[in-house]
Structure 1
Amino acid sequence: MSVNRRSILRTTAQLATLTAAGGLLTGCGQEAATGGGAAASEHPAHPSPTPGAPTVLTPNRIPAATPSAAVSGAPSAESAGASPSAPEQPPLAANTPAEVISGPSDRPQVALTFHGQGDPRLATALLTAAEQHGAKVTVLVVGSWLDQQPQMARRILDGGHELGNHTLNHLDISSLSADQAYAEIAGCADRIKALTGSIGRWFRPSAAQFATARVKAQARKAGYEHCLSYGLDPRDYADPGAEVIQRRMLGSIKPGSIVALHMGHQGTVDALPAVLEALQQRGLSAVTASQLCS
């Protein structure tokens, strides 16, 4: 072997070694968003529905994160006993805006959307009630809840429902910096993707009805082209009772309505069957947000 050929082979081997070492440093040295954190209030009167949840991260403690990064505490699809295949979704209408508040008013459909957190038994009872009435819902999950209840991701999708992103720790996202907001969105996206194979279509800002321009930009950066707002809020998080929730919903709901509701509240579970029966009597179908906007 000539001297030149030996030199080339030696240099190639050195480059391969350095490349491998660099990859290890990138994977192990990157700081990712942690999964702890109870939900901050959607509204001031809304308490955390998860007893014993870890302490909420304060904004200046939120590290940067990316949707493709390995996230500490995010369970894999295999560990949760789930297939990592992405759920199929209907294509959205071409005129779907960047922030959706309501759907078409000329179709007999409404979307019931849920803040995904709280006692998994109540969440399961709510999903079961919807399925018994032929309804499909959209659940915007808090990422730290998925750390505690990873099985709920597949339970939602396997029931024919839709799964979206409601940030990692449910902080007041409007008050966060761009990097902090991105970490909240991307941290939740990582958890959803690890469990289902997809980050989902929708992002809903935490502790806010509408997304600011900064939050919309960070949502797009994390892979969400559309934010999902709502036009009807029966304030079920305040636990006013099933009859009040029913009255507030049925008194205002109409074709195209997107309703904001919450898992983890017994009154919401109790109210849902009567609400769905009343909607059926009016000829209205409860569909996912994607179906409403397709």
Structure 2
Amino acid sequence: MNDPLTRRRLLGMTLGAAALTACSAPGQNPAPAAGSAPATTSSGTTPSPSASPSSPRPLGPATELSRSTAGRPQVALTFHGAGDLQVTRQVLDLVHQHGARITVLAVGTWLAEHPDAARMVRDGGHELGNHTWSHPALSGYAAEPMYAEIQRCRDKLVELTGSPGGFFRQSQGQHATEQELVEAGKAGYAKVLSYDVDSLDWKDPGPAAIRAAVAKARAGSVVSMHLGHPGTVSALPGVLADLAKRGLSPVTASELLA
């Protein structure tokens, strides 16, 4: 076999076989060829990835935030996301007219019933967060069902927007318990958004009472409000006017807490 061309061909074949053996060594998977079909399991289904950009990796316990100490003349108006979608439209129209931006902590069942709500909030330049799937008295739950409430709403947000939102807020409680912080972290949330001012609009006390409650807000405050109450809509023009007179700008929670 003295033909140089033949020897070069045989050498190329030998090196090629060695390279394939190295790529397929135990503990390694060769990269699929371009255009090849995805790998399947023994049942014929395509395996799901263990993690994806839209599914946050578990973290340690979340950090609770209830106000900013930066000193900027800003407040965050945060709204419990539930109720009649027409009321949501009215709130979004009002904050748009006043140049305000808000944060909506959405209840998962509300998003499931009104999937357009997420788009409406985002299209207005506002932000969305997670307020559990069904808004239970969450602090009384055991760890597993507590996590399920957070996870299920997270997954609905990802489905509708591609993002789980930057914040989780516990339901039926101004401040998070230690267990709620742990389970929020497991679901991928680094921050739990509590609040230091409660508008009490969920009690339907009337526009004047809501306006007086929000007047307690100071620079850095996070205010709790609700989308599903017509009284909130009636109070909102006065609330926004009062904040403007005091030089306080309503911004998203992410901006306030940056």
User: TM class, shorter-chain normalised?
Assistant: 0.7 to 0.9
Q: State the AA in 1 paired with 2:110.
A: W
Distance 1:271 1:237 in 2: 12
**Where does residue 219 of structure 1 map in the other structure?**
184
Query: What is the root-mean-square deviation in Å for CA atoms of aligned residues?
Result: 2.3
Report deviation, 1:67: 9.6
* Distance change >3 Å, CA 19–CA 146, structure 1 → 2: same
Large movers: runs of 4+ above 3 Å: none
Contact 1:166 1:185 in 2 (8 A): yes
Distance 1:293 1:262 in 2: 21
Alignment coverage as a number of residue pairs:
213
Distance 1:137 1:267 in 2: 18
SS at the partner of 1:210?
coil
**Where does residue 144 of structure 1 map in the other structure?**
109
Q: State the AA in 2 paired with 1:111.
A: A
Distance 1:176 1:67 in 2: 27
SS at the partner of 1:198?
coil
Contact 1:67 1:190 in 2 (8 A): no
**Where does residue 147 of structure 2 map in the other structure?**
182
* Distance change >3 Å, CA 23–CA 261, structure 1 → 2: same
**Where does residue 246 of structure 2 map in the other structure?**
282
* Distance change >3 Å, CA 223–CA 108, structure 1 → 2: same
Following superposition of structure 1 onto structure 2, how do residues 105-184 of structure 1 map, counting pairs within 5 Å?
Answer: 106-184=71-149
Distance 1:261 1:20 in 2: 51
Report deviation, 1:18: 7.6
**Where does residue 19 of structure 2 map in the other structure?**
none
Distance 2:39 2:166 in 1: 40
1:185-243 Cα offsets, whole Å, 9 max, x none, are: 00000110101000000000011111111111111111100000000112100101111
Report deviation, 1:144: 0.5
Identity, % of aligned pairs?
46
**Where does residue 212 of structure 2 map in the other structure?**
247
For 2:41, which of 16, 19, 29 is the aligned residue? 19
Rg larger in structure:
2
Distance 1:254 1:18 in 2: 57
Report deviation, 1:104: 2.3
SS at the partner of 1:147?
helix
Q: List runs of 5+ in structure 1 lacking aligned partners.
A: 1-15, 28-65, 69-84, 87-96
1:142-169 Cα offsets, whole Å, 9 max, x none, are: 0000010000001001101110000001
Contact 1:67 1:186 in 2 (8 A): no
| TM-score scaled by length of structure 1 | 0.68
| TM-score scaled by length of structure 2 | 0.78
Distance 1:20 1:124 in 2: 49
SS at the partner of 2:213?
helix
SS at the partner of 1:205?
coil
Report deviation, 1:281: 1.3
